[in-house]
Amino acid sequence: MTQILALDIAGNPFRWLDIDRAIRYVATGKVAWSLGADPMRFFGGTQRATGLRSELDVPPVIALAKSEGMVRHARPIPLGDDNDPLFRRDRHMCAYCGGVFGKRDLTRDHIMPKARGGRDVWGNVVTACRICNNVRKGCRTPEEAGMPLLFVPYEPCVFEGFLLVGRNVLADQMEYLAARLPRHSRVLAA
Ligand SMILES: [Zn+2]
């Protein structure tokens, strides 16, 4: 399902919108500026006076008018229960053996195990294959298990976070967010 990337007026990602919501923003003039050469065109009903069908172009990236107050919402994406954003941050690579796996063979590993007070936050979790996590590492730290991390976990910035949770991200949206990623980001690294 296509989503529209909504920004605040300063260009910070605000929310992924479903199409219906985006159409409402465009139709009611709540868009301050927009990006994307290839808007999606939607048709409404026929106007009685003119006999013409109304039409509306919805750009892939829209900045909402009167959104100055939203800037405070542009904070990093929380680490939820869904593992997809974590696996995407780590490019589906196990942090211990370096293998690249499908979703079914991957787990969320807590570097400092939860049972020992490790927190469920971006900075304490990495993608690990089932064997490395459940069989080899178990309830130990990487040091105790003799399993050094192949890469360092980090909290995605807001731009990276939107890429990680986006579904079917369009080219213009990808371009906007990717241009603002920090250098350490691995999300789009080749
Ligand atoms: Zn592994």
What pLDDT digit, counting tens, does each position of 77-104 carry? 889 899 999 999 999 999 999 999 999 9
What's the pLDDT score for residue 7? Answer: 93
Question: Ligand 1: distance of its center to the CA of 123 in Å?
Answer: 19
- The pLDDT mean for the chain works out to 90
- pLDDT of residue 127 exceeding 90, the answer is yes
Average pLDDT over residues 130-157: 95
Lowest mean pLDDT among 106-110, 126-130, 177-181: 177-181
What is d(CA 146, CA 90) in angstroms, rounded to the nearest whole number? 21
| Residue 52 token pair | 């013409």
**Cβ(95)–Cβ(127) under 8 Å?**
yes
What torsion, rounded to 10 degrees, do the Cα atoms 166, 168, 169, 171 define? 170
Compute φ and ψ for 165, nearest 5 degrees. Answer: -95, -10
pLDDT digit string (tens) for 20-53? 999 999 999 999 999 998 889 988 878 778 888 8
Q: Which residue has the tokens 């986006």?
A: 166
Residue 132 is classified by DSSP as I
Q: Can you tell me which residue has the tokens 């942090």?
A: 95
Q: What is the mean pLDDT of residues 59-77?
A: 78
pLDDT at 73: 59
Q: Which domains does the chain have, with CATH numbers?
A: 1-72+158-190 (no CATH), 84-145 (1.10.30.50)
Return residues with CB closer than 5 A to ligand 1 (ion). Answer: 94, 96-97, 129, 132
| Per-residue pLDDT, 143 | 96
Antiparallel, parallel or unpaired: β 3-7 and 61-64:
parallel
- Ligand 1 centroid to Cα of residue 146, in Å, is 13
What is the percent of the chain with per-residue pLDDT over 70, rounded to a whole number?
95
Residue 50 and residue 48: Cα distance in Å, rounded?
6
Name the nearest CA neighbour of 125 among 78, 157, 58, 168. Answer: 78
Is the pLDDT assigned to residue 71 strictly greater than 70? no
Query: Three-class SS of residue 42?
Result: strand
pLDDT for the residue 162: 93
Residue 134 is predicted with a pLDDT of 95
Least confident of 1-15, 35-49, 59-73, 117-131: 59-73
- What's the gap in Å between 154 CA and the centre of ligand 1? 19
CA angle 74, 2, 188 (to 5 degrees): 60
Q: Is the model's pLDDT at 75 over the cut of 80?
A: no
